[in-house]
Amino acid sequence: MKRMSIKGWVRKAISTASIVALVTTYSMVTLAASNKPVGELLVTGDSVTDTVSVTVNGEAAKTGRTIFSSSAIVTPDTLGATVNLGKAGKLELAPNTSFTLNVDGDTVSGDLAAGSLTVLSSAQPVNVKTSTGETVAVNAGETATATPVGITKNAAKKGPGGMSWLAFGSIVAAVVVAVVIIAVVTNNDDSTPTSPVR
């Protein structure tokens, strides 16, 4: 009888050890998948000193740095950064910006604690949570700021002289109408008689 109970305990111990090994292995695979690289950093601007740099998770970063999801990127007042996320898109961080990036496939989001962020390209709108807790959807060519002033269109989409296309079109239409009115008024010569054609 004692042999039977020892065999039972050995079987239970082996089963328990196998289950623990299986659970541990699956949890390591899940943790490893979340640390997959999502993009690359490009530092822009002029550094006044070697001590001023863009930081990623508190560490100084240079052009070519690999970016992971949940990375906290901070730019100083003399440097900006562009984050190339491949198919997911490309983001530009202005100087004095603090942004925590989250990427899940083609879905890009993040927390903008300070500064501004411009979406240069994106497969879909980027959900940006501002410093006030408001979440805004930012499309390609638009800029979001940490303070809730809303989304602004990129200056590259504006018309001549930096004004909107609507304002530019209104000015052109007003000039055309004025030219037509002046032409009609100055060419109104009633001194020549006209007779109907018979």
Cβ atoms of 91 and 83 within 8 Å: the answer is yes
Q: DSSP alpha helices (H): ranges in the chain?
A: 2-34, 165-186
Does residue 34 surpass a pLDDT of 60? Answer: no
Does residue 139 surpass a pLDDT of 60? Answer: yes
Contacts with 162 (C-beta within 8 Å, 6 or more apart), sequence order: 155
State what percent of residues in the chain have pLDDT above 70.
Answer: 76
pLDDT band with cut points at 50, 70 and 90 for residue 105: confident
Alpha-carbon distance of 119 to 126, in angstroms, equals 8
Cβ atoms of 116 and 146 within 8 Å: the answer is yes
pTM of the model: 0.58
pLDDT band with cut points at 50, 70 and 90 for residue 189: low
Smallest CA-to-CA distance from 68 within 115, 31, 13, 94 is with: 31
Copy the structure tokens of residue 135: 């979440």
Smallest CA-to-CA distance from 103 within 81, 85, 115, 124 is with: 85
Cβ neighbours, 10 Å, residue 74:
22
